[in-house]
């Protein structure tokens, strides 16, 4: 079967291949909200004369079997849409198309249909991960994001831990309206600007997991599933499972979108694979912590399929942030020698930090030693000249001096 295809960049169009009246009604509502021209094709045989000019093809699950024998141009962006999760799961792999569950993800579908041409902008990307568990990688990522926003940078923080919820807690953002990963797991390829659709706290746009555990015991059992429009009008979070599986493809699509619209994107990386950006490993300042970090980094040097630090090409940019504290006083020089990566700075132990984080007061929000420490780290990671760091150097004497050691 031949597919007639021509692209018109000035017109936002989409095709829905379905004869399901309920599904058509839902998609038409999203298309209207997105000011997108929707062409409904009820029968696959009519595709040859559709004359479609857009880039998004929505395949209803009721026509999934028929589409197996249809060759579509690779330029088209496919989505499998339906109202039953089981049917979507069954047909997603055979068709090679990500899914959109309706009406739950109707807000995402609207954004997809309203997509605009990319500007080519690429923000700075920092991806933070721990050399071992419990070392404070999430806390550092949050703190860097807060300080970046404070200096006027348009900043986004992405939580990539599928069993997370920590970012919402650190920002006390559990009840903030906006999209979480539950609305974004079907994102693929080029997606539109997410600005205004995400929770924002102290100037930082958040893409978080917001697991049910973070929202309180029994929450998932008592709150019905809501779509994004209901979130906006009712001001309550949607029912979200305790863990949300974040596909690598969705993570890449979301990060790419944020890099086009923001000045700085920070990813609390967890165990996901991201091949670009600057990797930052947080290392406990003791022998056990350094040994654990070295073991995690060894997989990268050996070229294995580790999903902790991403591609081999990232080794040249890799830097370590040392995390001293009670009982953790290993010198930066010794840590750098063992790890064989430069120590770019230290994230000091601060007495009030545990209390503030438990209270939902993100690190770096208020002026003080924590903010100064984070400012120094941020300036180093952004590659700013040393002359811009003099304002706070006296309050952090010895923390950053002579720390950028050779590999």
For 109, the domain range is 13-113
C-alpha distance from residue 64 to each of 13, 67, 82, 98, 187 (Å): 21, 5, 10, 13, 19
C-alpha 330/C-alpha 284 separation (Å) is 9
Sequential DSSP letters for 328-374: B---HHHHHHHHTS-EEEE----TTHHHHHHTT--TTSSSSHHHHHH
pLDDT for 21-65, tens place per residue? 999 999 999 999 988 999 999 988 777 544 555 468 999 999 999
Task: Give Cα 403 to chain centroid, integer Å.
Answer: 30
Q: Are 281 and 308 in contact (CB under 8 A)?
A: no
Residue 392 sits in the same domain as residue 351: yes
pLDDT of residue 83: 96
Does residue 383 sit in the same domain as residue 405?
A: yes
Task: Please report the pLDDT score of residue 266 as a whole number.
Answer: 97
One domain, residues 238 and 369: yes
CA atoms within 13 A on the CB side of 296: 24
Are 109 and 125 part of one and the same domain?
Answer: no
Task: Examine the fold and report which residue of 113, 138, 153 is the final residue of a domain before the chain moves on.
Answer: 113
Per-residue pLDDT at 376: 95
3-class DSSP state for residue 205? strand
Q: Both 108 and 142 in a single domain?
A: no
Percent of the chain with pLDDT over 90: 43
- Do 189 and 51 lie in one domain? The reply is no
Domain count, the chain: 2
Give the angle 141-190-19 at the CA atoms, nearest 5°: 125
Residue 236 belongs to a domain:
yes
- Residue 273: band (very low, low, confident or very high) from pLDDT cuts 50, 70, 90: low
Residues 197 and 155 in one domain: yes
Confidence of residue 402 (pLDDT cuts 50, 70, 90): very low
Domain end point (choices 113, 141, 173): 113
- Cβ count near 238 (within 10 Å): 21
Q: Do 341 and 364 sit in the same domain of this protein?
A: yes
Q: Is residue 3 part of a domain?
A: no
Is pLDDT at 221 greater than 80 in this prediction? Answer: no
Q: What is the mean pLDDT of residues 271-296?
A: 88
For the question of whether the overall pTM of this predicted structure is more than 0.75, the answer is: no
């Amino acid at each position: 079967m031949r597919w007639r295809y021509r692209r018109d960049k000035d017109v936002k169009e989409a095709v829905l291949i379905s004869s399901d009246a309920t599904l058509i009604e839902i998609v038409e509502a999203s298309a209207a909200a997105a000011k997108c021209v929707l062409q409904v094709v009820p029968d696959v045989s009519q595709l040859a004369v559709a004359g479609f000019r857009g880039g998004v093809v929505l395949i209803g699950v009721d026509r999934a079997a028929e589409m197996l024998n249809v060759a579509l141009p690779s330029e088209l962006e496919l989505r499998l849409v339906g109202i039953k999760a089981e049917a979507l799961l069954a047909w997603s792999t055979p068709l090679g198309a990500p899914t959109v569950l309706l009406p739950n993800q109707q807000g995402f579908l609207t954004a997809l249909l309203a997509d605009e041409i990319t500007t080519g902008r690429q923000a700075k990307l920092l991806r933070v991960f721990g050399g071992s568990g419990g070392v404070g990688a999430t806390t550092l990522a949050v703190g860097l994001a807060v300080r970046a926003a404070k200096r006027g940078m348009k900043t986004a923080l992405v939580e990539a831990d599928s069993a997370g919820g920590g970012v919402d807690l650190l920002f006390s953002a559990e009840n903030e309206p906006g999209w979480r990963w539950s609305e974004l797991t079907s994102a693929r390829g080029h997606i539109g600007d997410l600005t205004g659709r995400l929770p924002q706290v102290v100037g930082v746009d958040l893409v978080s997991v917001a697991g049910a555990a973070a929202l309180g015991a029994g929450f998932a059992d008592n709150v019905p599933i809501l779509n994004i429009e209901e979130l906006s009008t009712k001001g309550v979070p949607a029912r979200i499972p305790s863990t949300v599986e974040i596909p690598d493809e969705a993570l890449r699509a979301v990060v790419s979108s944020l890099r086009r619209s923001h000045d700085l994107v920070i990813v609390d990386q967890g165990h996901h694979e991201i091949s670009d950006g600057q990797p930052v490993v947080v290392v406990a300042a003791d022998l056990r912590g350094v040994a654990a970090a070295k073991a995690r980094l060894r997989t990268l040097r050996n070229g294995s399929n580790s999903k902790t630090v991403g591609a081999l090409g990232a080794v040249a940019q890799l830097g370590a942030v040392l995390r001293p504290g009670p009982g953790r006083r290993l010198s930066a020089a010794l840590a750098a020698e063992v790890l064989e990566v430069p120590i770019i700075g230290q994230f000091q132990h601060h007495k009030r930090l545990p209390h503030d984080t438990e209270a939902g007061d993100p690190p770096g929000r208020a002026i003080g030693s924590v903010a100064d420490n984070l400012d120094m780290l941020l300036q180093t990671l952004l590659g700013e000249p040393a002359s811009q760091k003099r304002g706070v150097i006296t309050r952090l004497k010895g923390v950053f001096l002579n720390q950028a050691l050779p590999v």
